[in-house]
A and B are shown apart, each in its own frame.
Chain A
Amino acid sequence: QKEVEQNSGPLSVPEGAIASLNCTYSDRVSQSFFWYRQYSGKSPELIMSIYSNGDKEDGRFTAQLNKASQYVSLLIRDSQPSDSATYLCAVSHSGYSTLTFGKGTMLLVSP
């Protein structure tokens, strides 16, 4: 059973702070990792993808992957109220075309 675990939150941070979202996965041969943002009532939209160990930065977002620890995280710098949403971690498995999603972490950024 391939599992993806996330803290459900909510994670509350003040505007301008760094938000740190974490995700662990059970399948050691997982190969692709994604962070999606989902606003209430809307469909998920891709924020970041990461495929190799280390950090990947895109604007205010940084994804971090540690395959040895089976851990992937998303850092949001200078958090804005518009970042308030649920963040879904998704993992793609070697040899399969499907993605497994975590249940998501709700982020609340207060002005």
Chain B
Amino acid sequence: AQSVTQLGSHVSVSEGALVLLRCNYSSSVPPYLFWYVQYPNQGLQLLLKYTSAATLVKGINGFEAEFKKSETSFHLTKPSAHMSDAAEYFCAYSSASKIIFGSGTRLSIRP
């Protein structure tokens, strides 16, 4: 079945540390992948999207993700975490106009 799998429902990092949120996709998933962020009591916001162009995708707020076909991965990274990055992050793919979301990873930032 088509899917994306987010490894780790909760990730905690120290402020200033590297952020790495993992996402693996099944090989049958169309190669159109997204990362969305959901801040508390706010709507989902698109961080970045991959649409078969450059494999390294840069998004907002200093985040980036690399599409690795050989590893079927689309991990999200940020070199230095800020307190404001604390939120829920969703990996997703597009299928026939609708978006299919992973189960999410909650990112906590330690002072």
Same complex origin of A and B: no
Residue ranges of A at the interface with B (Cβ–Cβ < 8 Å):
none
Residue ranges of B at the interface with A (Cβ–Cβ < 8 Å):
none
